[in-house]
Protein backbone atom coordinates (compact mmCIF):
# COMPACT_ATOMS: atom_id res chain seq x y z
CA UNK A 1 0.00 0.00 0.00
CA UNK A 2 1.33 3.44 -0.95
CA UNK A 3 1.23 5.83 1.99
CA UNK A 4 -0.61 9.13 1.56
CA UNK A 5 1.21 12.45 1.82
CA UNK A 6 -0.78 13.31 4.96
CA UNK A 7 0.25 10.07 6.65
CA UNK A 8 3.87 10.64 5.65
CA UNK A 9 3.69 14.19 7.07
CA UNK A 10 2.39 12.86 10.41
CA UNK A 11 5.28 10.40 10.57
CA UNK A 12 7.85 13.09 9.74
CA UNK A 13 6.42 15.43 12.42
CA UNK A 14 6.51 12.59 14.95
CA UNK A 15 10.09 11.90 14.00
CA UNK A 16 11.05 15.54 14.53
CA UNK A 17 9.33 15.73 17.92
CA UNK A 18 10.17 12.30 19.27
CA UNK A 19 13.39 11.47 17.49
CA UNK A 20 14.00 9.18 14.56
CA UNK A 21 11.39 6.60 15.67
CA UNK A 22 8.63 7.91 13.41
CA UNK A 23 10.74 7.76 10.29
CA UNK A 24 12.09 4.35 11.30
CA UNK A 25 8.51 3.01 11.60
CA UNK A 26 7.75 4.30 8.11
CA UNK A 27 10.81 2.65 6.62
CA UNK A 28 10.14 -0.54 8.58
CA UNK A 29 6.70 -0.79 7.00
CA UNK A 30 8.35 -0.78 3.61
CA UNK A 31 11.08 -3.17 4.66
CA UNK A 32 8.76 -5.86 6.03
CA UNK A 33 5.82 -5.33 3.66
CA UNK A 34 6.62 -8.40 1.61
CA UNK A 35 9.35 -10.02 3.68
CA UNK A 36 8.67 -13.60 2.72
CA UNK A 37 8.43 -12.95 -1.01
CA UNK A 38 11.37 -10.65 -1.62
CA UNK A 39 14.28 -11.81 0.54
CA UNK A 40 17.00 -10.30 -1.66
CA UNK A 41 15.36 -6.88 -1.57
CA UNK A 42 14.71 -7.15 2.17
CA UNK A 43 18.42 -7.60 2.83
CA UNK A 44 19.20 -4.28 1.20
CA UNK A 45 16.21 -2.57 2.78
CA UNK A 46 17.50 -3.61 6.20
CA UNK A 47 20.69 -1.75 5.37
CA UNK A 48 18.60 1.30 4.47
CA UNK A 49 16.76 1.07 7.82
CA UNK A 50 20.09 1.00 9.64
CA UNK A 51 21.29 4.08 7.79
CA UNK A 52 18.11 5.96 8.63
CA UNK A 53 18.50 5.09 12.32
CA UNK A 54 22.00 6.57 12.29
CA UNK A 55 20.83 9.82 10.75
CA UNK A 56 19.61 12.67 12.90
CA UNK A 57 16.37 13.70 11.25
CA UNK A 58 16.97 17.42 11.66
CA UNK A 59 20.28 17.16 9.81
CA UNK A 60 18.97 14.84 7.13
CA UNK A 61 15.92 17.00 6.45
CA UNK A 62 18.14 20.02 5.97
CA UNK A 63 20.14 18.20 3.29
CA UNK A 64 17.59 15.99 1.53
CA UNK A 65 14.03 17.27 1.22
CA UNK A 66 11.52 15.01 3.08
CA UNK A 67 9.27 14.95 0.02
CA UNK A 68 12.14 13.44 -1.94
CA UNK A 69 12.36 10.59 0.57
CA UNK A 70 8.58 10.23 0.55
CA UNK A 71 8.43 9.98 -3.23
CA UNK A 72 11.43 7.67 -3.41
CA UNK A 73 10.23 5.19 -0.80
CA UNK A 74 6.71 5.13 -2.24
CA UNK A 75 8.28 4.45 -5.63
CA UNK A 76 10.04 1.41 -4.15
CA UNK A 77 6.73 0.16 -2.73
CA UNK A 78 5.05 0.55 -6.12
CA UNK A 79 7.86 -1.34 -7.86
CA UNK A 80 7.52 -4.23 -5.41
CA UNK A 81 3.76 -4.40 -5.95
CA UNK A 82 4.38 -4.55 -9.69
CA UNK A 83 6.92 -7.38 -9.18
CA UNK A 84 9.70 -5.17 -10.56
CA UNK A 85 12.17 -6.57 -8.08
CA UNK A 86 15.33 -5.61 -9.95
CA UNK A 87 14.28 -1.97 -10.24
CA UNK A 88 13.28 -1.89 -6.56
CA UNK A 89 16.64 -3.33 -5.55
CA UNK A 90 18.46 -0.70 -7.62
CA UNK A 91 16.38 2.04 -6.01
CA UNK A 92 17.16 0.87 -2.48
CA UNK A 93 20.85 0.69 -3.32
CA UNK A 94 20.77 4.25 -4.69
CA UNK A 95 18.98 5.66 -1.63
CA UNK A 96 21.30 3.77 0.73
CA UNK A 97 24.36 5.13 -1.07
CA UNK A 98 23.00 8.67 -0.94
CA UNK A 99 22.18 8.45 2.77
CA UNK A 100 25.54 6.89 3.60
CA UNK A 101 27.23 9.77 1.80
CA UNK A 102 25.16 12.32 3.71
CA UNK A 103 25.53 11.03 7.26
CA UNK A 104 29.22 10.17 7.38
CA UNK A 105 31.22 11.95 10.06
CA UNK A 106 33.68 14.07 8.05
CA UNK A 107 31.30 15.74 5.68
CA UNK A 108 32.20 19.41 5.43
CA UNK A 109 34.48 19.22 2.40
CA UNK A 110 34.43 16.37 -0.09
CA UNK A 111 36.14 15.57 -3.37
CA UNK A 112 34.37 16.58 -6.56
CA UNK A 113 34.47 12.92 -7.63
CA UNK A 114 32.49 11.96 -4.52
CA UNK A 115 29.95 14.70 -5.13
CA UNK A 116 29.50 13.52 -8.72
CA UNK A 117 28.90 9.95 -7.53
CA UNK A 118 26.20 11.15 -5.14
CA UNK A 119 24.53 13.09 -7.96
CA UNK A 120 24.46 9.94 -10.08
CA UNK A 121 22.60 8.15 -7.28
CA UNK A 122 20.24 11.08 -6.83
CA UNK A 123 19.36 11.23 -10.52
CA UNK A 124 18.85 7.46 -10.73
CA UNK A 125 16.26 7.79 -7.97
CA UNK A 126 14.59 10.74 -9.66
CA UNK A 127 14.49 8.87 -12.95
CA UNK A 128 12.47 6.10 -11.33
CA UNK A 129 9.82 8.70 -10.54
CA UNK A 130 9.96 10.69 -13.77
CA UNK A 131 10.54 7.73 -16.08
CA UNK A 132 11.20 8.68 -19.69
CA UNK A 133 10.36 12.32 -18.91
CA UNK A 134 13.82 12.80 -17.35
CA UNK A 135 17.09 12.39 -19.22
CA UNK A 136 20.46 13.45 -17.91
CA UNK A 137 24.16 13.56 -18.67
CA UNK A 138 27.27 14.14 -16.54
CA UNK A 139 30.35 15.48 -18.30
CA UNK A 140 33.01 15.39 -15.58
CA UNK A 141 36.69 16.22 -16.04
CA UNK A 142 38.76 13.61 -14.18
CA UNK A 143 41.44 16.27 -13.66
CA UNK A 144 39.13 17.79 -11.05
CA UNK A 145 38.48 14.60 -9.06
CA UNK A 146 40.47 15.69 -5.98
CA UNK A 147 39.32 19.31 -5.88
CA UNK A 148 37.36 19.77 -2.64
CA UNK A 149 33.99 21.48 -2.33
CA UNK A 150 31.29 21.58 0.39
CA UNK A 151 29.21 18.40 0.58
CA UNK A 152 25.91 18.59 -1.33
CA UNK A 153 26.93 21.68 -3.26
CA UNK A 154 25.52 20.34 -6.53
CA UNK A 155 22.49 18.38 -5.31
CA UNK A 156 20.25 21.36 -4.35
CA UNK A 157 20.77 22.87 -7.81
CA UNK A 158 19.97 19.56 -9.51
CA UNK A 159 16.89 19.23 -7.29
CA UNK A 160 15.75 22.69 -8.37
CA UNK A 161 16.22 21.68 -12.01
CA UNK A 162 14.06 18.57 -11.47
CA UNK A 163 11.36 20.27 -9.42
CA UNK A 164 11.05 23.67 -11.08
CA UNK A 165 12.40 22.99 -14.58
CA UNK A 166 11.50 19.44 -15.58
CA UNK A 167 8.45 18.53 -13.49
CA UNK A 168 6.17 21.38 -14.69
CA UNK A 169 6.97 20.52 -18.32
CA UNK A 170 4.56 17.86 -19.54
CA UNK A 171 7.18 16.64 -22.02
CA UNK A 172 9.84 16.37 -19.34
CA UNK A 173 13.36 17.50 -20.12
CA UNK A 174 17.12 17.10 -19.97
CA UNK A 175 19.66 17.96 -17.26
CA UNK A 176 23.40 18.22 -17.87
CA UNK A 177 26.08 18.58 -15.19
CA UNK A 178 29.52 19.65 -16.41
CA UNK A 179 32.79 20.14 -14.53
CA UNK A 180 35.76 21.81 -16.22
CA UNK A 181 38.55 24.37 -15.89
CA UNK A 182 38.42 27.74 -17.58
CA UNK A 183 40.59 30.83 -17.08
CA UNK A 184 42.19 29.46 -13.93
CA UNK A 185 38.89 28.53 -12.28
CA UNK A 186 37.00 25.31 -11.55
CA UNK A 187 33.52 25.53 -12.99
CA UNK A 188 30.51 23.34 -12.27
CA UNK A 189 27.53 23.98 -14.52
CA UNK A 190 24.02 22.58 -14.00
CA UNK A 191 21.83 23.12 -17.06
CA UNK A 192 18.26 22.09 -17.82
CA UNK A 193 15.96 22.71 -20.77
CA UNK A 194 12.87 23.06 -18.59
CA UNK A 195 10.41 25.91 -18.22
CA UNK A 196 13.03 28.40 -16.99
CA UNK A 197 13.30 30.53 -13.84
CA UNK A 198 11.38 33.84 -13.75
CA UNK A 199 13.67 36.80 -14.35
CA UNK A 200 12.33 38.44 -11.18
CA UNK A 201 13.73 35.62 -9.05
CA UNK A 202 17.13 35.87 -10.69
CA UNK A 203 17.20 39.63 -10.16
CA UNK A 204 16.20 39.14 -6.53
CA UNK A 205 18.99 36.59 -6.08
CA UNK A 206 21.57 38.95 -7.59
CA UNK A 207 20.38 41.81 -5.38
CA UNK A 208 20.54 39.57 -2.32
CA UNK A 209 24.11 38.59 -3.18
CA UNK A 210 25.10 42.25 -3.25
CA UNK A 211 23.16 43.48 -0.23
CA UNK A 212 22.21 40.43 1.84
CA UNK A 213 19.03 40.64 3.87
CA UNK A 214 15.97 38.44 3.67
CA UNK A 215 16.01 35.15 1.79
CA UNK A 216 13.32 36.13 -0.69
CA UNK A 217 11.57 33.69 -2.98
CA UNK A 218 14.49 32.38 -5.02
CA UNK A 219 14.83 29.22 -2.93
CA UNK A 220 16.54 28.01 0.23
CA UNK A 221 18.64 25.50 -1.72
CA UNK A 222 20.21 28.21 -3.87
CA UNK A 223 20.80 30.42 -0.84
CA UNK A 224 22.44 27.67 1.21
CA UNK A 225 24.68 26.60 -1.67
CA UNK A 226 25.90 30.17 -2.15
CA UNK A 227 26.44 30.81 1.58
CA UNK A 228 28.41 27.59 2.09
CA UNK A 229 30.62 28.36 -0.91
CA UNK A 230 31.30 31.80 0.52
CA UNK A 231 31.95 30.39 3.99
CA UNK A 232 34.72 28.10 2.74
CA UNK A 233 36.15 30.08 -0.18
CA UNK A 234 35.16 33.73 0.33
CA UNK A 235 35.65 35.94 -2.70
CA UNK A 236 37.24 33.03 -4.59
CA UNK A 237 33.79 31.49 -5.08
CA UNK A 238 30.63 32.55 -6.88
CA UNK A 239 27.27 31.20 -8.03
CA UNK A 240 25.57 32.71 -11.07
CA UNK A 241 22.18 31.90 -12.59
CA UNK A 242 21.03 32.54 -16.14
CA UNK A 243 17.59 31.59 -17.41
CA UNK A 244 15.39 31.92 -20.49
CA UNK A 245 12.38 30.23 -22.06
CA UNK A 246 14.79 27.49 -23.16
CA UNK A 247 15.86 26.55 -19.62
CA UNK A 248 18.14 27.50 -16.74
CA UNK A 249 21.90 27.39 -16.15
CA UNK A 250 23.53 27.56 -12.70
CA UNK A 251 27.29 28.10 -12.72
CA UNK A 252 29.51 27.51 -9.68
CA UNK A 253 32.93 29.12 -10.05
CA UNK A 254 35.96 28.53 -7.79
CA UNK A 255 39.46 29.92 -8.09
CA UNK A 256 41.94 27.16 -8.97
CA UNK A 257 44.25 26.20 -6.11
CA UNK A 258 42.02 27.49 -3.32
CA UNK A 259 41.18 23.93 -2.26
CA UNK A 260 44.62 23.43 -0.76
CA UNK A 261 44.02 26.28 1.66
CA UNK A 262 40.66 24.91 2.78
CA UNK A 263 41.11 21.15 2.69
CA UNK A 264 42.87 21.33 6.04
CA UNK A 265 39.92 23.21 7.57
Could you state, in order of their start, the residue ranges of all structural domains in the chain?
Answer: 1-105, 132-265
Alpha-carbon distance values, 65 to 12, 71, 155, 156 (Å): 11, 10, 11, 9
Q: What is the mean pLDDT of residues 58-74?
A: 61
pLDDT of residue 264: 39
Is a pLDDT exceeding 70 seen at residue 10?
no
Q: What is the pLDDT of residues 191-234, one digit of tens each?
A: 999 888 888 888 888 888 888 666 566 677 788 888 889 888 98
pLDDT of residue 27: 52
Is a pLDDT exceeding 90 seen at residue 138?
yes
Distance CA 123, CA 162 (A): 9
- Mean pLDDT is highest, among 42-51, 88-97, 123-132, for 123-132
> What's the pTM?
0.72
Looking at domain 132-265, its CATH class is alpha beta
Work out the pLDDT band at 52, boundaries 50, 70, 90: low
pLDDT of residue 253: 95
Q: Which residues contact 99 (CB under 8 A, 6 or more apart)?
A: 48, 51, 52, 55, 60, 64
Q: Kindly state the percentage of the chain with pLDDT values over 70.
A: 67
pLDDT of residue 244: 83
DSSP for 131-177 reads GGGEEEEEEE-GGGTT-EEETTSSHHHHHHIIIIIITTSTT-EEEEE
Q: Kindly state the percentage of the chain with pLDDT values over 90.
A: 25
Work out the pLDDT band at 128, boundaries 50, 70, 90: confident
Is a pLDDT exceeding 50 seen at residue 142?
yes
Question: 52 with 30: CB under 8 angstroms?
Answer: no
In the predicted model, what is the mean pLDDT of the chain?
77
Work out the pLDDT band at 44, boundaries 50, 70, 90: low
Amino acid sequence: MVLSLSMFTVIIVFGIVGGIAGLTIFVSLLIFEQEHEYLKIDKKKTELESLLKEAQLSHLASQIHPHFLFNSLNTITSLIRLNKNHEAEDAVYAISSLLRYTIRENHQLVKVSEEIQSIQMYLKIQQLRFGSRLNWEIDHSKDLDDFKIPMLTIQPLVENACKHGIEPNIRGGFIKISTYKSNGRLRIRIMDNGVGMPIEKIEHFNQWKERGGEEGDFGIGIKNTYLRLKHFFGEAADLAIVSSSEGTSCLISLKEGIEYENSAS
